[in-house]
Amino acid sequence: MSADFANLRKDIEMLNDSDADWIHLDIMDGVFVPNISFGFPVIEAVAKYAQKPLDVHLMIVEPQKFVKEVKAAGAYMMSVHYEACTHLHRTVQQIKAEGMKAGVTLNPHTPVSLLEDIINDVDMVLLMSVNPGFAGQKFIENTYKKVLRLKEIVLRRKADCLIEVDGGVNYDTAKKLFDCGADVLVSGNFIFNSNDPKEVISRLKNG
Ligand code: ZN
């Protein structure tokens, strides 16, 4: 979402050459969130040049309708919003049946306690640390407590589940999030608006 859309290949090659582990793609439909980003042709275009797994975050209503399309476009991880899935367990099973990793995403107001009965079925929980819809938003401080509470659930339930945080990640918030128990951090504008994106990625990971 933060890359140069007129020069995507250049930014993908930068990421290939960086310490980044995954490439995160934000799909927005203008209904679940008040913005539209891009769809399957762009995921396919990224997949063509990416040498890292694609972490696809669907901020759309009825994501269960597009599981096969997301797989065909080249996704490694497909994350759907808790708030967008009436039959979340079924959707998670559909994602896994296609051979993808399944992630569940929570908006800032959705409590992590709601995940107690799905935590052993998902490969990742993605916590939104901003209200989804736009890049470059301010980090919501309550996220630290959510990571701590989620980590407690993951450990208590012995779940094989990563904790990912998306939004407002910079050097300061990254360190605190790792200390709270986050495993995967998504950073967009902080990397792409810098003069030396690869150096920023290295410092985020190793700093
Ligand atoms: Zn995202």
Complete edge-to-edge strand list for the sheet that includes strand 184-186: 23-28, 54-59, 77-81, 101-106, 124-128, 162-166, 184-186
Which two structure tokens, joined as six digits, stand for 108?
């800032």
Residue 199: CATH number of its domain = 3.20.20.70
Domain count, the chain: 1
pLDDT (0 to 100) of residue 96: 98
| Tens-digit pLDDT profile for residues 119-139 | 999 999 999 999 988 777 889
**Cα 130 to ligand 1 centre (Å):** 10
Residues that place a CB less than 5 A from ion ligand 1: 26, 57, 166
Domain region containing 61: 5-206
| Tens-digit pLDDT profile for residues 27-71 | 999 999 999 999 999 999 999 999 999 999 999 999 999 999 999
Q: For strand 77-81 and strand 54-59, is the pairing parallel, antiparallel, or unpaired?
A: parallel
Taking Cα atoms as reference points, which of 60, 121, 104 lies closest to residue 69? 60
**Cα 167 to ligand 1 centre (Å):** 7
The DSSP code sequence of 6-21 is GGHHHHHHHHHTSS--
Higher pLDDT, 17 or 132: 17
Candidate list 26, 29, 55, 123, residue with the active-site label: 26
Tokens 């009825």 identify what position?
62
> Distance between CA 27 and CA 149 in Å, rounded?
27
Mean model confidence pLDDT for the chain: 97
* 29-51 burial code (b ≥16 CB/10 A, e <16): beebbeeebbebeebebbbeebe
Q: Is 117 a catalytic residue?
A: no
